[in-house]
Structure formats: structure tokens, C-alpha cells
Amino acid sequence: MLAFSARPLALLAFLALLIAVVNAVHPVKVQGQDFVDTVTGKRVMIIGVDYQPGGQAGYKPQNGEDALTNGTVCLRDAALLQRLGVNTIRVYNVDPTLNHDDCASIFNAVGIYMIIDVNSPLGGESLNRAEPASSYNAGYLSRIFGVVENFKGYPNTLGFFAGNEVMNDVGSSKENPPYIRAIQRDLKNYIAAHSTRTIPVGYSAADVRPILEDTWAYMQCSLTGSISDPTRSDFFGLNSYSWCGADATYQTAGYNDLVTMFANTTLPIFFSEYGCNKPEGVARVFNEVAALYGKDMTGLSGGLVYEYSQEESDYGLVVINGNGTVTLKKDYDNLQGHYNLLDLALLSSTNPSQTTVTPPKCAASLISGSGFSQNFTIPSPPDGADDLIKNGIKDPVNGKLVQVKETNVPMKAYGSNGVEIKGLAIKILPDDQSNAPSNETTSPSGTAAPSPTASKKGAAVRTGTGAWGVFVAVLAAVVVLL
């Protein structure tokens, strides 16, 4: 027993590794037109919110900050998003050289997936739609491969957006499409060479009806006729703002047209942004939620509401106050009310007839002829790209899950009526679950009149000691065995 060989150490390391993934969500893959859980095989419907506190200006790589760098802020927002009932966030701008471990681990612990945009508004960090050829270069690829390196290690990374609204009118749809496919190819080849699991890559389209169907047709087709063509999108996001106000319907919002348009899709389609804010000045009622997740639209994979925090563009579900506290808007309450009515069993049942699909072979005839590119000659990787893809980028910063130790939110949060939300904390989900609506109402009832004695603690909150408890028990067992 004193001969302390390397074997128990290796065993310990192995056990530690097992424990490190105890509270990890199951990765998601694409299967036919659905997202599915890689372990249970069940369909994953996106119930999501776009997450960019501070708006585009919140992306400050020069200060070492982006939306996923401050663990305290993520703890606060993850607690409110978990209670809201979402299972996915989309994050638009991340710096691949920063450490996102705390935030990614917190969102993982509460069962929330992340869809990450690989681009940013800074020069050289996205495709320039006015000059796609010159902006598609090795320096740009280095950046987006860095995002892959940074996020590939998190099991809750659901996918990467290779581009967002690059084509936003007929003019920009002439030259850019082949470049989007080239970027998708390079990302997918990089992932295949440097990630232990496949991570889906797709495109987020503007709802510009003259080019929408062409965009989808162009992105989903296969040059070879096979699903494995790397230039093809794995999924298709649509930024959809056609359902406005309390009186809109499935028909007046044109959701019926979308369902018809995408009836034959061979990849998952979801709203990568939705939640029209007209009429102005009133809380959004979110009646579109019932339609989007209802029987008529099960062919789609859900959507992400634009957006978590109130910014200049006036789409917030919550207001982040200057002192770091958060006040829910009525929009949050209304959205939560609709989420609470969803038929979760319907949403997770996958349609077996859709598990194998053959994408259409790319051809000019798939495109309407209204001006959208019919050019399926995809640009070759720029100089230096093959080396990056083969050997990896220099000095990648690889993220990994870390233990989430703090579950209580240190800042105060207030309901839409101004009443403080007591005992705000994240609930670390056991058994690798993802989050789902839980029929709760986060905004407390009552009014915001000062009532210093009314401080009932929040409902039972599961703390994050589960994994450590197991670790200590296993450690004890191993020591006894030795």
C-alpha cells in the first residue's frame, strides 16, 4: 500500500475526469431536419433568447470584455433565463483570446445551450458584404477558427453561426453566397480536424422575402448530392419580425407562408431572432410563441427571442440597471406565461420519417432567378488557410468546463412591478438535463411598497454540491481501497 504506484493516480485522474462532466448537458447534433440530443435521441426544440448585454457596444475586447467574460453577470442572467424557461442563448460577439469558462460553465450547469456567432463588428472579423473576395483571407479565418478552439470544449456549445444577414437585399445576394459556403466549409473542416465532436455550423438569414427562399435553397443544397458536403449549412436561422402586436395571426404574420416555403427542408430551421416590438411603447404580448411551438409549426425547431436586455433598439425582456441590478419588464412576464403553456412532450417527440434526408443537388434551377447568385463555384481557401486547417491556429485558447461554486446571485433583481425577487439563485440541474419552462412566475405578486419585514426566502434551491459530494465520496472509497 505504501508503494504508491502510478495506477491509483491514473485512476484518480480518470475519476476526476468523469466527475468533471457529471453536470454537463448532452451535446446536440443535427439529424435530418431536427436537432437531437446525442444521448437520448430525443428532439431538441430551441426555446431561446438572444443574449448581448450592453448591445453591440458591450463587445469590448480591448478591455478584455465580451458577453461571456464576467461570471457574476452570467450568474445573475443565467438565474433569470433559467426561471424564464429557456434552453438556448445566442451570443453575437465573442473574443477568442478571452476566458469564457465561468460563463459557459454556469450556462451549462443550468441546462442552457449556446449558439455562438464567429464574427464581430470589428474590422477584419467578418465578411465584408461589399468586398467578399478581399475580406475572405487567412487573417479572418484565424479569428473564426479561434472561436472554434475557444468553444469546442463546452458540451453546451450547440452550434456556430458562420454569418448573420450578410445578404440583406437583392444586391448583396449576387456575390456573397459562394463565400458563405466557403466559410462554412472551412469551419467544418477545422472542426473535423481539431474537435472531438461534430459541432453544427449554419447561417442566420434576414427575413427579406425576395431573397429568403433562395437563401435557404442555396444554403441547404449539396454540391455532391450527399449530406456530407462541407460547404452546405447544417442548420438555417431566420431573423423573423413579421408577427407584430396583439392582433396578428398565423396568417397575417405570414407564418403559413414560411411553413409552405420550408415544407421540404432537409436541415433544421429556427427563428434566430424574433419578437417584433411594434406597436411601440407597449409590452410585447408574444402570442407568436403559441404558433411557433404549436402543431402547425412542428417542422421548425423553435426560436430565440430578441433579446435579453433592454438596449437602444428597445427589444429587452429585462432592464439592466446602472448599479448591476436587474428589473424584469412586462415582456418577460408575458413571454414566461406563454412558455408555461407549451406542450413539452409534443416538442421533444421526433418525427422518424425525417431522420434521413437527401439534400437537393445544387443547381441554378433551385434559385428563382430574381437576382440571387446561381453560382455554385465555391472559392478555394485563401493562401495559408490549408495550413491553418491542417495544423491548427497558433496559441489557441481552449475553453473547458469548471466547477460552478457560487449559486446565489449577489445582485438584487426586481419583478416587473418593482418588488424584489428574493433568493435569486441558479439551480444546478442533475442528470445532464437541459432547462425547460417550469410553470413559474418570476415577478413576485404585490406592489413595490417598502416592506422591510417581508423577507420570505425563495423556494428550495438546489445547490451545486452534488458533483463535489460524489467526488469526495469516490476519493474516500479510493483511499480506503489503497
Ligand X SMILES: *[C@@H]1O[C@H](CO)[C@@H](O)[C@H](O)[C@H]1NC(C)=O
Task: List contacts with ligand X (CB under 6 A).
Answer: 70, 72-73, 178, 260, 263-264, 321, 323-325, 375, 377-379, 412, 439
CB-based contacts of 132: which residues, under 8 Å, 6+ apart? 175, 176, 179
- Tell me the backbone φ, ψ of residue 161, rounded to 5 degrees: -90, 120
Number of Cα atoms under 13 Å in the Cβ half of residue 17: 6
Residue with cell 444554403: 219
307 catalytic? Reply is no
CB 50 within 8 A of CB 89: yes
Minimum gap (Å) between residue 76 Cβ and ligand X: 8
CB 122 within 8 A of CB 128: no
> Which of 61, 18, 143 lies closest to 401, judged by CA?
18
Minimum gap (Å) between residue 474 Cβ and ligand X: 33
Handedness of CA 389, 391, 396, 400 (dihedral sign): positive
Number of Cα atoms under 13 Å in the Cβ half of residue 397: 12
| 70/354 with CB nearer ligand X | 70
CB 53 within 8 A of CB 315: no
Residue with cell 425525417: 354
CA distance 237 to 229: 19
Minimum gap (Å) between residue 54 Cβ and ligand X: 10
Could you tell me the CA-to-CA distances from 81 to 43, 111, 146, 176, 321 in Å, in that order? Answer: 21, 10, 27, 35, 17
Minimum gap (Å) between residue 377 Cβ and ligand X: 4
The DSSP annotation for 1-56 comes to --S--HHHHHHHHHHHHHHHTTTPPPPEEEETTEEEETTT--EE-EEEEE--TTGG
175 catalytic? Reply is no
| 264/368 with CB nearer ligand X | 264
Cell digits of residue 217? 435553397
The residue annotated as part of the active site, out of 125, 149, 165, 213, is: 165
Minimum gap (Å) between residue 240 Cβ and ligand X: 18
The residue annotated as part of the active site, out of 273, 288, 307, 311, is: 273
Minimum gap (Å) between residue 357 Cβ and ligand X: 12
| 79/304 with CB nearer ligand X | 79
CA distance 109 to 400: 13
Minimum gap (Å) between residue 263 Cβ and ligand X: 5
CA distance 325 to 398: 31
Q: Which residues are the active-site residues?
A: 165, 273
